[in-house]
């Protein structure tokens, strides 16, 4: 049966990043929406925006397009806006899917959930930016986020990334209660994803456990939407 997907990117990405994956989903007969979030379009002024504005945008996008029976997918930092939006959209959702994503806990921001070296990196880069934004150094992105791509692809994707508002990393959302949300919830994990190091700070089992689910495996790295779009599409449809 055809589904309607709304795909919410992680940090530094716009809706353009979903194109390889969206092509696979559309070829299988599904409708796919890939919005670019506030503050993450090329040229956006991020200084007056807050995480709540992103949540409002996701809710407004689904309502404005009058979408129903939606599979709402969040990648990485995108777990925050989909978590904030899900209770307000519950009547329009078919499924809520986290893909290698943060699952928020009460009072904890993304900054609280990453290892101390990332905290130091984010704080230092934001302080030096002049507008409280974060850009990953190429070496970090290349090695930890997209290590399964050839070097020219790593460089191309990196050059397309945009600065991410630091406040999106330090502000919080109310966590969901899967038992009362009234919408099936799933977690998909790319098996070669080392953007968060395995162990205490790893994606799994930490975040699937918060949802009370077992992670569904997908191929590829944290940037599998570029490197393994067919396998990722299959995993999202299975979720």
DSSP string over 2-50? --EEEEE--TT--GGGGHHHHHHHHHTT-EEE-PPPTT-STT---TT--
Peptide bond into 70 cis (omega under 30): no
Which contiguous run of DSSP H or E holds residue 108? none
Tallying the residues shown for the chain, one arrives at 239
The DSSP secondary-structure symbol of 219 reads S
- Domains, in order of start, for the chain: 4-238 (3.40.50.1820)
208 touches 130 (CB < 8 A): no
pLDDT tens string, the chain, 239 residues long: the values are 889 999 999 999 999 999 999 999 999 999 999 999 999 999 899 998 999 999 999 999 999 999 999 999 999 999 999 999 999 999 999 999 999 999 999 999 999 999 999 999 999 999 999 999 999 999 999 999 999 999 999 999 999 999 999 999 999 999 999 999 999 999 999 999 999 999 999 999 999 999 999 999 999 999 999 999 999 999 999 99
């Amino acid at each position: 049966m055809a589904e309607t997907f709304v795909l919410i990117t992680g940090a530094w990405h716009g809706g353009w990043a979903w194109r390889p994956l969206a092509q696979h989903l559309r070829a299988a007969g599904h409708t796919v929406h890939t919005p670019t979030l506030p503050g993450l379009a090329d040229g956006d002024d991020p200084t007056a925006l807050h995480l709540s504005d992103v949540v409002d945008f996701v809710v407004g996008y689904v309502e404005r397009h009058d979408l129903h029976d939606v599979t709402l997918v969040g990648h990485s930092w995108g777990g925050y806006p989909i978590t904030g939006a899900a209770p307000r959209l519950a009547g329009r959702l078919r499924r809520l899917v986290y893909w290698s994503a943060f699952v928020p806990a009460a009072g904890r921001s993304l900054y609280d959930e990453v290892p101390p070296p990332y905290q130091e990196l984010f704080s230092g880069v934001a302080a030096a930016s002049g507008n409280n934004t974060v850009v990953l150094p190429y070496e970090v992105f290349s090695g930890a986020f997209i290590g399964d791509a050839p070097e020219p692809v790593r460089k191309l994707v990196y050059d397309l990334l945009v600065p991410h508002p630091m406040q999106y990393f330090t502000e919080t959302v109310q966590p969901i209660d899967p038992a009362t949300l009234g919408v099936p919830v799933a977690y998909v994990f790319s098996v070669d994803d080392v953007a968060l190091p395995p162990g205490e700070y790893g994606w799994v089992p930490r975040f699937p456990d918060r949802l009370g689910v077992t992670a569904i495996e997908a191929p590829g790295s944290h940037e599998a939407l570029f490197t393994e779009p067919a396998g990722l599409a299959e995993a999202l449809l299975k979720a």
